[in-house]
């Protein structure tokens, strides 16, 4: 009887081991695949987040740079306009105060000048 068992074990041991490995793969395989897929998804999400952060940073730098250029151009235009006005023929002639007040009043009604110090001083004090 013992020889039959030993013969059976010797003959079928490789197949039993293969069957056990197959059973182990069948039981652990799906969990390992899910874990691998999950880790892969996390890696892709991390890469996408890093790419988005980089693009957002580039957009912010470009926006700040564009705003600085516009501000510089606006300042240059203001200087050019002031120079042109001061150098115009008749710029040194006296101006009637009513004309000056009407011109300043028109500028002070514009949103761009409304909070200028001179415009605030021109406004009537609240009663």
User: What is the phi/psi pair of residue 80, to 5°?
Assistant: -65, -45
Residue 20 has what pLDDT? 78
| Tens place of pLDDT per residue across the chain (127 aa) | 667 766 766 777 777 777 777 777 776 667 666 776 778 778 888 888 888 888 888 899 899 999 999 999 988 998 998 999 889 998 888 889 899 889 888 988 888 888 888 888 887 655 5
């Amino acid at each position: 009887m013992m020889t039959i068992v030993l013969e059976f074990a010797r003959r079928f041991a490789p197949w039993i081991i293969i069957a056990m490995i197959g059973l182990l793969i069948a039981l652990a395989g799906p969990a390992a695949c899910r874990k691998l897929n999950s880790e892969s998804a996390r890696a892709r999400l991390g890469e996408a987040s890093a790419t988005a952060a980089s693009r957002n940073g580039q957009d912010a730098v470009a926006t700040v740079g564009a705003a600085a250029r516009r501000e510089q151009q606006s300042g240059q235009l203001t200087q050019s306009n002031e120079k042109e006005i001061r150098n115009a023929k008749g710029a040194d002639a006296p101006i009637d105060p009513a004309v000056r007040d009407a011109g300043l009043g028109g500028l002070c009604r514009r949103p761009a000048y409304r909070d200028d110090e001179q415009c605030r001083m021109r406004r009537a004090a609240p009663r």
